[in-house]
Amino acid sequence: MQNYLFTSESVTEGHPDKMCDQISDAILDAYIEKDSNARVACEVTATAGIISVMGEITSKVNIDINNIVRNTIADIGYKGEKYGFDADTCMVSIAINRQSEDISMGVSNSLEYKNLIRNNNINKNHHETIGAGDQGMMFGMACNETENLMPASIYYAHELCKRLSYVRKSNLIEYLGPDGKAMVTFNYENGKPEKICNIVISTQHLPNISQDKLRNDIREKVINAVIPYELRNAYVEILINPTGRFVKGGPCADTGLTGRKIIVDTYGGMGRHGGGAFSGKDPTKVDRSAAYMTRYIAKNIVAADIAEKCEIQISYVIGVSNPVSVMVDTFGTGKYQDKLIANAVDNIFDLRPSAIIEKLDLKKPIYKQLASYGHMGREDLNVSWEKTDKVDELKEYFNK
């Protein structure tokens, strides 16, 4: 399939699902900041006037979760009754238990580590000490469609949503609310994104603003500021608040839930997804850490000019440190057979959870900032999995 249309969506930080993601990761950050070995699995729901925090957390420190919830909501922009939800007056319900002992047993002492003990070959610093926090498969991808090696449609959808937040918080458009979303459709010719053919933006607003003014402001101060001239033309269809009204938004209009925007968080549908969400999970959960690692591997492969597009899958068993499978798919763009590239991955990258955590420096409070506008392609945040420091090693491997 060489000629086709492809669409991706992003949402703003005031979207109810994204609000829940940010609260979950703000709680995670607070624990990791004081206890880098905390085990956190935190889920949040949001509806009219109520935030519910649930999950399993084991840590040596106590955190004021109620205060974190309210501060996160206020930072997003839900302060007072202006947009229907108030950080100060909403009800916060908290139901937190400890991590299951059955899970902890496998994560803290992996199957491989138990075998080392059994054979009297103990090394407490061995990466095989830590087992995967769950079973499952994780995907990561990269392609040469944009400078940060992300698919074009999700890249520009994120940029539009970031801009919506900027013009709201800077009062460049003073009547916008926190909730919003954007969708971008690219026309692909010969497998390459050529032109944008459709842009959709829906944004919350105060009730006394005319739709004509809103649409003119969004077109001028958001779309024109983000989308390069060469990607748009007179035939681009632009739809702004297509229902004609978006006053009621956020949790008052739609219940939010942690982990319900996993495609927004990754590749906008262009890459496959293993199904596990990221937010609220400490890095022993391979749903998060291994997904970052697969992005890191795929990006380095594309940056090394080994392939124009690359997708990686790795899979794990709970309590076992080594992955049970590694797959590489370059969609026919690779300079070498996919099997040979997979061999290179096995030789160059350590895929045990403890090694991933160490390599990507994941025991730091970096997660709340990732809970909006995507976890991948975030060169603006200088996250470790966006580095291309394995390019030379990959090239050397294939030049032997």
pLDDT, residue 131, reads 73
pLDDT, residue 128, reads 57
In this predicted structure, the answer to whether residue 112 has a pLDDT above a threshold of 50 is: no
Please give the share of the chain, as a percent, with pLDDT higher than 70: 92
The C-alpha atoms of residue 222 and residue 244 are separated, in whole angstroms, by 18
101 pLDDT tier (thresholds 50, 70, 90): low
133 pLDDT tier (thresholds 50, 70, 90): confident
Overall average pLDDT of the 24-32 stretch: 98
Overall average pLDDT of the 20-34 stretch: 98
pTM of the model: 0.93
In this predicted structure, the answer to whether residue 152 has a pLDDT above a threshold of 90 is: yes
pLDDT, residue 234, reads 73
Architecture of domain 4-10+152-249: 2-Layer Sandwich (3.30)
Domain definitions of the chain by residue range: 4-10+152-249
Specify the higher pLDDT residue, 123 or 243: 243
pLDDT, residue 113, reads 44
In this predicted structure, the answer to whether residue 400 has a pLDDT above a threshold of 90 is: no
Mean pLDDT of the chain: 92
58 pLDDT tier (thresholds 50, 70, 90): very high
pLDDT, residue 372, reads 97
Sequence-ordered alpha helix ranges (H) in the chain: 16-34, 65-76, 101-108, 111-118, 152-169, 211-218, 224-226, 262-265, 286-303, 338-348, 353-359, 391-398
Overall average pLDDT of the 89-109 stretch: 75
Q: Is 268 helix (H, G, I), strand (E, B) or coil?
A: coil
The answer to whether residues 270 and 153 touch, using CB atoms and an 8 Å cutoff, is: yes
Overall average pLDDT of the 259-280 stretch: 96
C-alpha dist (Å) from residue 88 to 51, 67, 68, 364, 382: 12, 10, 12, 28, 33
pLDDT, residue 111, reads 45
In this predicted structure, the answer to whether residue 333 has a pLDDT above a threshold of 80 is: yes
